[in-house]
Structure formats: C-alpha cells, structure tokens
Structure 1
Amino acid sequence: MNEWSPAPPADYLPIKDHGLIGDGRACALVGRDGTVSFLCVPRFDAPPLFCSLLDRRRGGSFLLAPDGLRLSRQHYVEDTGVLVTELRADAGLVEVTDAFLLQPGARLEVDAPVGAGELLRHARVTQGSVDLRVALRPRGETQAERQPAGWQLTCPQQSVKLHLTTSRPLPGPECTLRLSQGEDLWIRLRWSEPQPGGSGGSVSRRLDDTVRAWRRWSAFVVADTPRPDLVRRSAITLKLLDYAENGAIVAAATSSLPERIGGDRNWDYRYAWIRDAAYTVFALRRIGLPDEAGGFLHWALTAAWRDGRPRVLYDVDGRPPPPEVIDAELEGYRRSAPVRWGNAAAEQVQHDVYGELLDCAFQWAATGRPLSAGLWYRLSGLAEQARTAWRTPGHGIWEVRTQARPFTYSAAMCQVALDRAARLATRLNLPGSAATWAAEARRLAGRIIHDAWDERAQSFTEHLGATGGLDASLLALPLRRVLPADHPRMIATTRAIAERLGAGNGLLYRYLPQDSPDGLDQPEGAFLLCSFWLVDNLAGQGRTDEAAELFEKLCSYAGPLGLLAEQIDPRDHSFRGNFPQALSHVGLLSSAVVLARAERGMRPELSTHAWFR
C-alpha cells in the first residue's frame, strides 16, 4: 500500500500524483485529490471535457472529495485498470473507486469494442463522517437539465451530452452531501445514451465484471523478470492507451504537459505514432501478448496506404490529425504555455517509419501469423521506398523543427526495412526482390558503420557523414539488430553517450540542443526511454551487473502507482512531458526482458527468434 501524502497543494498537483483509467476508447487522469483532471470523450483525441491539469480554473474537472482534506493516497485494484483513492478528512475517511466500466463479458485480448462510454465513481465512507463535495464542471459553457434519473448536461464545446445518474438524489451537478461510516454514493457519467439499470447493486456487478475482465487479460502477461510489479503495471498502462476499435496505440494520454516548466516544449501526444506503436506491440509480444501486434499492423498499413507513403502519426481513425493550434484560453500546467491541440509533426518526413512497419510485420509473421497477399503487397512497396528514402534528409526520431538532415537513426531504420523484407520474402516464399533487399541492407549497414563514425570523437554521430552532435537514438541500433551491442564502435558510442549526455543518477538527455539544434533553443528534461536503451546496451556488452543496477535506479523514478512520464527533471526528479508515456513503459518492459535473459545466462538480444539465424 502506498504511503499517505499531505493534502495536495491548492495550485497544480505533481504529475506523478495521478492515476490512469480507461476503456479502450478514452482514458482519464484522476488525481490523489479526488479530481478527474483530464478526460477527452468519446475517444482519446477528442476535444477535452476536463483539462484542469492544463488550467485549474478554466479547464474543467470532476471533483469527488471530502471537505477538510488532510491526507490522501492511491492504489490500483491488483492487475486491473481500476483505481482507488483514499481521502482522509478532519472527521472521516472516504474511499473513492474510479473506473471506466467495460461491457458485460468484455474480453480485452481481442480486437473488439470493450467500453461502454461510461465513467463510474464510487465513494464509500469507511470511518467517521464527511461532507462529500461533488463538482462536475465540464470545460466551456454547459447547460444542466434535471432528468428523472439524474441530470443531463449539454456541452457545445465538445459536442456531447452527458448523463449523470446517482444512487442518491443530487440537488445539482455541484453540491455537498453529508455521509457517515458505511454510507456510499455511486455516480455514473455517460457520454452515450443511458441504458437501463442505474441502481447501486447493478452498478456494483458491473464494476465486478470490469475487474474480472482486466484480470483475465492480465493473466496472459508473462512477468518472470526483474520488477514484475512494474512490468505488469506497464503492460496494463499500454493497454489503456490501445484503441480497441482498430489497434491504434496513442503515445500518451495527454497534451501539452511541459518538458520544461516555463518553456514551450509542449506537444499533443493523443495520437498514434507509427514508431511508438511499433515499439509498444513489440514489447507486449515479448511478455506474452502477441495479439495487439496484429491489430496495430493492419491499422498502420491501412493508414499508410491512403497517402501512398507512411506518415509519422495519425489520429485513431488512421487519418491525419487536425492542424496544430494554440489554445490561448488555457494557461498551461503550472503556467507553462502554450497549450497545443493537434501536432504539426504529422507533416514531417521521418524515414524510420519504413523500418518500424516492416519490423512489426516480421515479428508478427515470426510467431506463425499469416501475411495476406494484400498486406505483403503493401509491405514490399514500403521496402522499395526505403531503398532510396534514406538518402533524403528528414526530421528524425526527435522531430526537430529545423531544416531536414540525414539522420543516422533514419538510415538505420531503412536498413531494418530492407533486412526484414528480405527475410520475410525468403522465409515465406513471397514475391519480391529478396536478394536485392538483403544485399542493399548489408551495404547500408556498412555505410552506417563507416560514414557515421567520428574518429576524433570516438563515437557515431547523429548524421551520416560524421557530422552533428551525439544522439542517444544511436543506442537503438543494436536493439534493431543493425549492428551488435558488442561491436567496438558501438561500445565506444555507448561510453560517449553515457559520459556526454548523462544528466546524473542514471538519466540521459536525448541530445544537447546547443550541439544538435532543434529549432527551440531551450533545455528539456532527461528522456527515460534513452536510459532504458542504455540498460539494454550494457547487458548486450556483458555488463549485466551495471545494467541491473541502472535498471533498478530507473525503476525508482516511477510514481506511486508505477506510472512513468516522458521525461525526468534531473534537478528534483519530478515528472516532465506527457503522461503516462507509452515509450517510457515500453523501455521498462524491454529492459526487464533483456535482463531476465542475461541473468539466466542467455544472449540478451532484443530478438532471438530463429528467423534471425
């Protein structure tokens, strides 16, 4: 059980003091003060219904908490996405359970709609008596109308109608109730048409069904690894970001949480990046969850084929996201403006997407799943594009907002695309230029080894031609089997990254803006994924004890609920960037598997499937 923490500040809660709940269509952040502070309905990338996390006065929120709050803490119901917040007031203790209700009989392990578009909040007084505050305040102008079963709220800004039903009559969407020990309040908030059955008992059964559905899915997780508790929580968190309708996986639950307080590195991550989603399904496959890969692969290739070339990111329907705009009404988290909706990176050229898609298909097929003729036609077309794409400058994995450049990581992922296409064609006897792809993959790997090497710096550089600064994305080259972790030049590069990009206490910056201009000219936090990549490289070089020590250090940065943000502020270890961040949890999962193999005396490679031998 997590420790009690003092009453939250009147300003903004620390990012780590939030839990994530969801249903495969939408998700919400719930703070340890009893506030739902971020929720977009009816799906991840819709206009926000609540976003007080970005403006505590104007953002909108849903509070359920006692007056006189003194202490609070949170925990998840074990192996589920159901969250419990305990709130201790002057004269009593309230336990609030929050969940998105799943449909009766829902099975999260199949690609099917599982959510009902319904948030359940259950407050139960376990000690003493409290004055329980209920405050439902959607963002923007709202019209409230009493209904026989509760209240209906019309929200023009979000184009939704909310249905609020409760086990006790409420005089309005904002009110205070006096409750004593043993008494409770059930609240259901729906953004679809209400269904029959609003009594406390029936809702209790629905909550039990939701817990069972989560535990059925969690039972598939293989967590015979270091820190199995965080591995299981990471898997559940990634599933909460998985769009059940089609397999799209969003990068994070939020928009515009700052990478630096007071800075403007604030981006909208509520979309599906090809790269992030490919890493996610690969990590899930390694812990016993292969089915998510199939949904993502078909979604991604359908989306990529619409434009004739794969984009960097899409909305959950597989279409370009809306144009990036600044929301001048909101002040931003801790007054870190601007708040952005939409993401202009969708228009960038990033060549790593070819490798992400082909590698995902390779891992899918390697587990015995079929590749249809239509799917292979699209994949082989991407391999052909990769043959020349690497020569064209792009904006790279970090989506710099400067002039396009020939990034080493982008060329490496084009090499991955060619290599995986050749292996697929050979293993499955598929049509295509397998011999040509294989030969070009070998030549491109050689060019990376020689053309990206800086003899003076004794490391690879971020650009082909041995120019530019040092880039932590180079740590991913062994993970994608472009070259082995124990290659002498990779060992030297690993050492250089640890020394020159180190932020202290095991943390790494992804690059230094003064050496690698990104168009923003501002510092940022340390990027968690890069530190997990360092764990994998150390293990691959036989430095297992160092890798295990670093892994434990990184795990210590997880919040009280086991959740991770995109970045860590090296000064005070507070969370920075959008939250929870899929790639950070992917890094934890992958490093746990790598270490488990290393500690058993096995080769700690990202993939040891026979298709690579």
Structure 2
Amino acid sequence: MRDGGYTPIEAYGVVGNLETAALVAPDGSVDWFPFPHVESPSIFGAVLDAERGGRFRVGPADSGTGTLGYLDGTNVLQTRFETGGGALTVTDFMPPADLVDHPKKVLYRRLDCEEGAVDVELAFDPAFDYARTETTLEATDTGLRAAGREERTTLEAEFDLDIDRDAGRATGATTLEAGRTEWVLLRCTGAEDAATDPAAALSDTVDYWRDWSHDCPTDEHCVFGGPWHDHVVRSGLVLKLLTHAESGAIAAAPTTSLPEDVGGVRNWDYRYNWLRDAGFTVQALSNLGHVGAAAAYVSWFLDLCGATEPATIQPLYGLHGETALDERELDHLSGYRGSRPVRVGNGAADQRQLDIYGELLLAVDELHTHDRSLSADEWTVVRDIVDYVTEVWQEPDAGIWEVRDGPKQFVYSKVLCWVALDRGLALASDHGYDAPVDAWRETRNEIRESVLQKGYDDELGAFVQTYGDGTTLDATGLLLPVVGFLPFDDERVQGTIDAVETRLREDEVLVRRYDGSDGLPGEEGAFVLCACWLIDALALSGRVETAHDRLETLVEYVNPLGLLAEEIDPDDGTYLGNYPQAFSHIGLVNSALYVGAAQGGELPGPPPMGIRLGDPIGMDDY
C-alpha cells in the first residue's frame, strides 16, 4: 500500500475531537496528528516525511494492510486485519470536546482479536513540533512518557516495550487470542492523569456522532433520502469533524501541504477557516438539519467582522479568530512523496479577495430563510460591509483562487460584490433594516452593467475569468445563475456552461478550475468542487438527466470511507491536495440537494440558493 514509505492520500481514515484530527493509514499507523489544535505543530507527521516525520502504529506483525471503515453514522474508525493466524480489529477514536464526561485530549485505540491468535506489534515514534524538537522518553508503570519542547504524551499499553532513548522511539509486542481486547491510550498534554473509562468513552462517542448524524432527513421523498443519502450523511460528519467545538469555525481541511501536484510546489496549509466557504457551508449544514451549527458559524464570523473595519477583514482566520497566519517553509521535511516545500501558515490571509463580502452576505441571507434574524449589532456589521463594497468593487484583487501573480479584475469577484449589494437590499427590504437602499441599488446596477460589458466574451460565448481577457475560462462562471446574477435560461449562462463542458471538463465529470496561468509552475488535478458546480448548473438548467448521471459518476470517485480530497487526478483517479476537504463535501451535499430537487424531491427546509433565487432578487430593471 505504501509507495516509498507513503500511503496514498485516498487510503487514509480520519478521526478527531472537534479540536484536532489524526490520519490513520490502513496498516494501523497514525501518520498525522497535530496537537493541541488542528492548526498546531504535529506530534506525528509521517505523511509529510516518511523518515523523520514520526508515526504511531499498532497492528498485526505479519499483515501489511487492513480494511478501513467507520461505524455507521459516526467518526469512529475501524481497521480490520486478516492474518495467517486470525483476525484483528483496531478501533480508533477521540471523544468529542462536547463530551465533558471524558478527557478529550486522548487518542483511544482498541484492539479486538476476533478469531485465532494474532501477534500484535506497536511502533511509537513521536516527532514533536514538526520533527524540530528532540524527543525524550522515560518508562512508566503503564507504558512510557514522551516529551518535546512544549508538548508531552503518555502512552498506556500492556506491551513489552523496548525503549530506544537515543532515537526517541519505542517498539513493543504482544499476542492476542480470540475474544481478548486490549486498549492502547495516547494521553496528550492536559490529560496525562485524567481518569478514563475507555469502554464508556467509546459508547458515548458513538452515541454522540449518531445523535448528530441522524438529523439528516431520511424520508424517501426527501432529496437526501435517495441513492446519495449515505454520501450526504458522511459529508455532514466530515463537516462536523472539521468544526471547532468552541468557536464554531470550520477548517478547510485537517492537513497541510498534501500536494496538488505530486513532486511540485503547490502545497498549502488548509487548517484554517476561509470566509469564502461561508454561503455554501451554511446552505449545506442548514439543509442537513444542522441549523444550529450553521447559526454558530455565522455568529462567529460576524463577531470577527464586527471587531475590525471591512477593509481589514481577512479571507481566512485561525479557528480561534487568529489573524497572524504567517506562511513559513519547513525545509527539513521532505514533503509528501518529495513534494516541497512543506508550508505552515498561509500567506493568502494577507490578500485582498473582494468575493468574500458576497459570500458572507450569502451566508447571512441563507440563514434568514431558516428564521434566524440578525441583532441590531449584527446588522450594523452587515451594513458596513455592503457600504464598503460600494467603495471598492472596481478595484482588482487576488480572487477566489488566491492567485499569486498579481491582482486582477476577476469577473467572479465583481459578481460577488453584486451579490453583497443584492442580498443586503433583500435583507433590508424583507426585514425592515435601516440601509441606504437607493445608493446600494444604483451601485448594484453599475456592477451588473460592468460585468455584462467586460466580463462576457461574445466570440467565446461565455463569461471569462478576468476583464479584458477573452481566452481564459473559469469554473466560477457556473455560479452566476446559482447566486441569482442571471437566470439559468439566459443564453450567456448556457454558453458558459457549454464552454466549461468543452474546455474545462476532463472526463465524464471532473472539472479543472480554469485554463489560464496562475503564476505557479506545475500542473494540478481536477477540483471536486468545480465538478459539483457543473452538476448544479446542469440540474438547475433543466438538464436533469445529465446532472443525475454526472453525480452518479462523481460518487464513484468517493473513497470507500466516504471521504474526498480537494482534487482528483483525472488520469488515474488518485487524490490530490489536502484531505478530507470541507469544500468538496459541501459541494457533494449541495449537488445532491439540487439534483434531488430538480427531480421533484421534497426539500428538507426552505428552498436554497439557485432554487429560491432562480430569478435575481429585486431586479426591477433586469
């Protein structure tokens, strides 16, 4: 399974506690585990350097890989191994931070011998602080204690351990016979001496996840009650797993520097919250029945925005609202399969991305359809943002794709500025909020005329990526009708869909982001989210059968665990980019919603974007 010491991205399972997460390989090795938070330095990081990154394996001594699966409706991972002498199941989980009866800073690993006898081995090789800190080990009565500069762990295991203090690692072995269960606990800083009841922790963790996931509608007439129900439920569980229990912020992914181009430089840290995800995230969560989670998310970013001026709102934040996300390169790590540099932090936090304001308004407006109104202070934040958009919409920016070759006049950024004004006007009109509606309406019309004149290319018959560029096509053009800028039957919309089909679609369903330069060397895979956008546009354009077939094809790319990375290599179907990726799962949920609705399924809640907004709001002079 491992290629040069590296496990394929799509082969990993993930567990977590709503503060951090761990990647578990099919051989029973924890290859990625940042602590105490998902954006913290790693304790185990073999996924980024197979030699020095550190790992923690438990599994049979004579079996290379097992079969991974989640307990139904949970984020509790099980790996089943078949050996020459018997069968072993390893169950991995962390109690969610909401479960106050159990210490949340513990990684539990339960070993169950189900038949025969299995020789089990343990390899414990922590590498604190991205392998930048020397590890010290000392034996304890129940196992061993490992420490770096700031963090420490205590390993509890009834194994005969051989501790190599010079190397900072330990190995151990035991034999389990049929019917025997052993627990291996990794206690992290803050939980070294906490009382634990492993069996109760597992039971309560299973109940927690099943209570949460069962909110997803299952009625056969509901759009989510059909053939994609299990994929939708798993996607909801992924989004919850990536949600920070304290703030409600959602990480784009729990990993950093998993490459978009193996061996290349397109390696980024995604362990932060991007405001651009807001509208579609709120839509997905709300329609899955998790309106409370969506509301917490909206409240979190409105608080962030209210603490600063609109001009200084960042495209992304740490999960506690941190603003200093300085991008750094870890030169001592070789990178996943030689993909360097390994980066931590993300320089996009310092970019100007004008689309974020429209995406924030999409989220606020979406939540309003679920009867969540704004407080006076929250409306002040929203009004200030819309006012600011009237001042800056004509300026260039880095765009949704965060290009690093200079600011440009991105069409999608202009459209999302239009969205900010459009939704601001709708909110003010529908709910009686105070606003300079005449000025907003005038600017909204100016933006629309600008986009139609400069963002559409008559010869191409499609909307392009930037003003003045009639050659570069961008998948964001598929979103213009979804956000209500133009109706789906507009010939310019249909022309854009056809152009994406012709120039950006790689196979039956996979879609590239764009076909122009972005200032970086190398190639990238097809973006799962863009495939979802094309499915949405087809479904809401009346091409329902095609959209249905495309969604059926897309779910074939979902791995057996129900997880998706950011990108897929169209040549061989392997995963690329950080994993699991929130935006990919958001796209899958929303595509199931749109296709199901287009086929006549019943919506689980108020109609979402694209259905409710098939025609633009308030466009009297459309």
TM bucket by the smaller chain? over 0.9
Residue aligning to 2:147:
154
Question: In 2 relative to 1, CA 460–589 (structure 1 residues): closer, same or farther, beyond 3 Å?
Answer: same
Residue aligning to 2:180:
183
**Aligned with 2:21 (options 13, 19, 27):** 27
Residue aligning to 2:31:
37
Residue aligning to 2:166:
none
Counterpart secondary structure, 1:39: strand
Residue aligning to 2:41:
47
Residue aligning to 1:3:
none
**Aligned with 1:401 (options 399, 404, 415):** 404
Q: Distance in 1 between matches of 2:468 and 2:116?
A: 70
Residue aligning to 2:220:
none
Contact kept, 8 Å, 2:153 with 2:192, in 1: the verdict is: no
Q: Which AA in structure 1 matches 2:201?
A: R
Q: Which AA in structure 1 matches 2:200?
A: R
Contact kept, 8 Å, 1:226 with 1:596, in 2: the verdict is: no
**Aligned with 1:90 (options 74, 84, 90):** 84
Residue aligning to 1:165:
156
Counterpart secondary structure, 1:409: helix
Q: Which AA in structure 1 matches 2:152?
A: K
Counterpart secondary structure, 1:584: helix
Contact kept, 8 Å, 1:132 with 1:176, in 2: the verdict is: yes
Q: Which AA in structure 2 matches 1:193?
A: A
**Aligned with 1:484 (options 487, 492, 505):** 487
Q: Distance in 2 between matches of 1:580 and 1:316?
A: 17
**Aligned with 2:94 (options 88, 96, 100):** 100
Q: Which AA in structure 2 matches 1:186?
A: W
Q: How far apart are residue 369 of structure 1 and its match?
A: 1.4
Q: Which AA in structure 2 matches 1:145?
A: E
Q: Distance in 2 between matches of 1:148 and 1:493?
A: 67
Q: How far apart are residue 240 of structure 1 and its match?
A: 0.6
Q: Which AA in structure 2 matches 1:129?
A: A
Residue aligning to 1:558:
558
Question: Which digits, 9 at most, give the CA deviation of each residue in 1:290-310, with x for residues without a partner?
Answer: 112222222212323444231
**Aligned with 2:341 (options 338, 341, 345):** 338
Q: Distance in 2 between matches of 1:609 and 1:151?
A: 58
Q: Distance in 1 between matches of 2:419 and 2:183?
A: 52
| Range 462-471 or range 414-423, more displaced | 462-471
Contact kept, 8 Å, 2:317 with 2:325, in 1: the verdict is: no
Residue aligning to 1:194:
192
Contact kept, 8 Å, 2:235 with 2:586, in 1: the verdict is: yes
Counterpart secondary structure, 2:94: strand
Counterpart secondary structure, 1:337: coil
Q: Distance in 1 between matches of 2:576 and 2:591?
A: 21
Contact kept, 8 Å, 2:454 with 2:467, in 1: the verdict is: yes
**Aligned with 2:394 (options 367, 391, 401):** 391
Q: Distance in 2 between matches of 1:376 and 1:530?
A: 32
Q: Does 1:129 align with 2:132?
A: no
Question: Which digits, 9 at most, give the CA deviation of each residue in 1:73-129, with x for residues without a partner?
Answer: 1110000000000122332221000001236856xxxxxx99712111011111222
Q: Distance in 1 between matches of 2:533 and 2:194?
A: 50
| Range 140-149 or range 395-404, more displaced | 140-149
Question: Which digits, 9 at most, give the CA deviation of each residue in 1:194-234, with x for residues without a partner?
Answer: 35534xxx211110010001111111112324411100000
Q: Does 1:204 align with 2:199?
A: yes
Runs of at least 5 residues in structure 1 that lack an aligned partner in the other structure: 1-6, 107-112
Contact kept, 8 Å, 1:480 with 1:606, in 2: the verdict is: yes
Q: Which AA in structure 2 matches 1:144?
A: L
Q: Distance in 2 between matches of 1:353 and 1:67?
A: 51
Residue aligning to 2:9:
15
Q: Which AA in structure 2 matches 1:281?
A: V
Matches within 5 A, 1:270-285: 270-285=271-286
Q: Distance in 2 between matches of 1:253 and 1:277?
A: 18
Question: In 2 relative to 1, CA 206–168 (structure 1 residues): closer, same or farther, beyond 3 Å?
Answer: farther
Q: Which AA in structure 2 matches 1:288?
A: G
Q: Distance in 2 between matches of 1:385 and 1:501?
A: 34
What value does the CA root-mean-square deviation take over the aligned residues?
2.2
Q: Distance in 1 between matches of 2:462 and 2:602?
A: 28
Counterpart secondary structure, 1:422: helix
Q: Distance in 1 between matches of 2:39 and 2:65?
A: 33
Q: Does 1:420 align with 2:423?
A: yes
Matches within 5 A, 1:289-300: 289-300=290-301
Q: How far apart are residue 9 of structure 1 and its match?
A: 4.9
Q: Distance in 1 between matches of 2:85 and 2:335?
A: 35
Contact kept, 8 Å, 1:98 with 1:119, in 2: the verdict is: yes
Contact kept, 8 Å, 1:358 with 1:416, in 2: the verdict is: yes
Question: In 2 relative to 1, CA 143–262 (structure 1 residues): closer, same or farther, beyond 3 Å?
Answer: same
Q: Distance in 1 between matches of 2:114 and 2:488?
A: 54
Q: Percent sequence identity over matched residues? A: 36
Q: Distance in 2 between matches of 1:531 and 1:255?
A: 23
Counterpart secondary structure, 1:101: coil
Contact kept, 8 Å, 1:274 with 1:356, in 2: the verdict is: yes
Contact kept, 8 Å, 1:544 with 1:595, in 2: the verdict is: yes
Q: Distance in 2 between matches of 1:56 and 1:601?
A: 48
| Range 350-359 or range 165-174, more displaced | 165-174
**Aligned with 2:503 (options 477, 500, 503):** 500
Aligned length: 593
Q: How far apart are residue 540 of structure 1 and its match?
A: 1.2
Q: Distance in 1 between matches of 2:331 and 2:87?
A: 39
Q: Does 1:348 align with 2:351?
A: yes
Q: Distance in 2 between matches of 1:321 and 1:576?
A: 27
Question: In 2 relative to 1, CA 484–601 (structure 1 residues): closer, same or farther, beyond 3 Å?
Answer: farther
Counterpart secondary structure, 2:480: helix
Q: How far apart are residue 325 of structure 1 and its match?
A: 1.1
Residue aligning to 1:382:
385
Residue aligning to 1:215:
210
| Range 298-307 or range 248-257, more displaced | 298-307
Q: How far apart are residue 193 of structure 1 and its match?
A: 2.8
Q: Which AA in structure 1 matches 2:246?
A: E
| Range 499-508 or range 262-271, more displaced | 499-508
Question: Which digits, 9 at most, give the CA deviation of each residue in 1:389-413, with x for residues without a partner?
Answer: 2211001111111110010000111
Contact kept, 8 Å, 2:460 with 2:470, in 1: the verdict is: no
Question: In 2 relative to 1, CA 450–224 (structure 1 residues): closer, same or farther, beyond 3 Å?
Answer: farther
Runs of at least 5 residues in structure 2 that lack an aligned partner in the other structure: 164-169, 218-223
Q: How far apart are residue 174 of structure 1 and its match?
A: 2.3
TM-score scaled by length of structure 2 = 0.91
TM-score scaled by length of structure 1 = 0.92
Residue aligning to 2:74:
80
Q: Distance in 1 between matches of 2:181 and 2:419?
A: 56
Residue aligning to 1:600:
600
Contact kept, 8 Å, 1:70 with 1:88, in 2: the verdict is: no
| Range 441-450 or range 218-227, more displaced | 441-450
Q: How far apart are residue 388 of structure 1 and its match?
A: 2.5
Counterpart secondary structure, 2:95: strand
Q: Does 1:142 align with 2:135?
A: yes
Counterpart secondary structure, 1:284: helix
Question: Which digits, 9 at most, give the CA deviation of each residue in 1:428-460, with x for residues without a partner?
Answer: 211111343234324422332332111111111
Contact kept, 8 Å, 1:53 with 1:333, in 2: the verdict is: yes
Residue aligning to 1:526:
526
Contact kept, 8 Å, 2:113 with 2:177, in 1: the verdict is: yes
Q: Distance in 2 between matches of 1:147 and 1:262?
A: 42
Contact kept, 8 Å, 1:485 with 1:540, in 2: the verdict is: yes
